[in-house]
Amino acid sequence: MDDEFIIWGRQPVMEALESDREFNKIFVARGGHDKRIVAAARERRIPVVEVDKAALDRMTASETGVPVVHQGVVAQLSPILYAELDDLAAAAQARREDLFVAVLDGITDPQNLGSIIRTANAVGAHGVVIPARRSSQVSPVVAKASAGAVAYTPVARVGNLSQAIDRLKKMGAWVVGTAADGDRRFFEADLTGPIAVVVGSEGKGMSRLVEESVDFTVSIPMAGEVSSLNAGVAWAVIAFEVARQRLGVNRG
């Protein structure tokens, strides 16, 4: 469980209001706030406090170190409860789908983590797995970058990523790593059935132990002068290929 944190921006706050997230309080700019948010908050009996814009600037700056565009609304959420691996499997079973998760190895950029959670939600993945150490954790910046998807897509935090991968295998998932020198190009691989896609950090890629744990690796061909994609984009490419192949199987 993380400490209490805040999110900001109209869309992330509205997305969280439409989910079952628990709020402590919502702060809105005096004379310049979104009436929809205030109405939704009052419907859920969440306290709404009008403050000067400068107060919102201070709240967000204390989290990020720099001023941000908060759009006149800052929400104080109750502590986040991370999911368990079993929760992700249960979500797949509830939807009568094969398990599909992202496993992140050393993603330290909160913008990348937020982007990955957003894409996971877009492709219908059942969750995202992150390590408790040497990784970005769910934070206000991550929530903002996810455009509210963190309210819907479970994030499981594990102590040991290699052990988590072994657990996913026991659940029946094929574990696919992403690497520049992968065993095959991503569109040549069979990505149907229960699957966990491992995305490593930019520059270093997957750690040695994690790479040794995966069943096989896939690469993304690069035709230009730039030799790699950032982690969020790489995950999106693979994730939508998984979704495409699943759609073909279901139609078949």
pTM for this structure? 0.76
Cα–Cα distance measured from residue 100 to residue 125, given in angstroms and rounded to the nearest whole number: 5
Query: What pLDDT is attached to residue 33?
Result: 73
DSSP state of 150: G
In one letter, which amino acid is 61?
A
Tokens describing residue 183: 């065993």
Q: Say how far apart CA 209 and CA 184 lie, in whole Å.
A: 20
pLDDT tens, residue order, the chain (252 aa): 344 578 899 999 999 998 877 787 899 999 877 889 999 999 988 889 999 999 998 888 866 666 688 999 999 886 567 899 999 999 999 999 999 999 999 999 999 999 999 999 999 999 999 998 888 888 878 888 898 899 899 999 998 999 999 999 999 999 999 998 889 999 999 999 999 999 998 778 899 999 999 999 999 988 877 767 889 999 999 999 999 999 876 655
Q: Is residue 56 helix, strand or coil?
A: helix
Tokens of 160: 């040991």
Q: What's the Cα-to-Cα distance from 9 to each of 14, 26, 107, 245, rounded to whole Å?
A: 9, 11, 24, 35
pLDDT at 68: 80
Q: Three-class SS of residue 195?
A: strand
Residue with tokens 């594990």: 158
Alpha helices (H) in 65-105, listed in sequence order = 85-94
pLDDT confidence of residue 252: 53
Tell me what pLDDT residue 67 has.
67
Alpha carbon of 17 to those of 13, 151, 197: distances in Å? 6, 9, 30
Distances (CA, A) of 200 to 52, 56, 79, 96, 135: 42, 35, 27, 29, 11
Contact (CB, 8 A) for 25 and 13: no
Task: Please give the pLDDT value at position 3.
Answer: 44
Supply the pLDDT for residue 2.
Answer: 42
